[in-house]
Structure 1
């Protein structure tokens, strides 16, 4: 029997990504973000989410992906505080598709030959689609949000 993993599938640009469902507290509609002076380039600003000040990270900018314009289908995935060292953090994604169950047999691990700068943040590639013609279109990059956030904390503390 193969193991199944629950992930949230979301979109950044034209590509599909996934993250572990256990670290997502909630998904909220885009709302006005207050920019902070002298903030790092990836920090879009802060929001007041039901009385809690929440830091908002632009995931596209953080990962070095093109285009960081605010769009009408964008969402904020709010992470659980335990995953972010106790801070309230949300990440901007272009769209959230669904929560999917992935069989471990449908996950391809990244090879060591890939650049270490991105390879360390990618848990694997999720293969999808019902037939071979759809598989190329339905590859989902499973990113390790905990490593991405942890890497930010390392840079901020140095």
Structure 2
């Protein structure tokens, strides 16, 4: 019998995505972000979170989705990727669910315009709800991780 995993659900536009809870450090409200020159466009800069400098990425920009105005619902999800803390800007993060690993299918080549390499799979929830599971280590490739590590200082 497959195990259940806890997943944080967040939104980018109309699509729902999931990250396993054990990879998430904290979820923060939007806060001032210090721009850093000469970085990828989707790297918005760094934040100082309780004395720790954390690079912040706009997931919309990372996935080639048009950027949107930040609202009261906008959140920064702080995750641990390859031994490094990174913040992901998302439209909203407001749900934690239990998901059976058996309900996660291999992703098609493209989901919502996002290439499959960024995805761990697509989970079916109920009759008509799909949850796109992110592959965090692919969301940041090695070159980007090196650039982000230099931002952490």
2:88 to 88, 91, 115: 91
Contact 1:47 1:56 in 2 (8 A): yes
Counterpart Cα distance in 1 of 2:76 and 2:107? 27
Counterpart Cα distance in 1 of 2:29 and 2:146? 31
Unmatched 5+ stretches in structure 1: none
Counterpart Cα distance in 1 of 2:91 and 2:146? 29
CA pair 90-157 structure 1, distance change in 2 beyond 3 A? closer
State the Cα RMSD in Å: 2.0
CA pair 156-102 structure 1, distance change in 2 beyond 3 A? closer
TM-score (norm 1): 0.81
| Residue of structure 1 equivalent to 2:143 | 154
Equivalences for 1:6-85 in 2 at 5 Å?
6-80=6-80, 83-85=81-83
**Runs (4+) of structure 1 moved beyond 6 Å?**
none
TM-superposed deviation, 1:21: 1.4
In terms of fraction of residues, the more strand-rich structure is 2
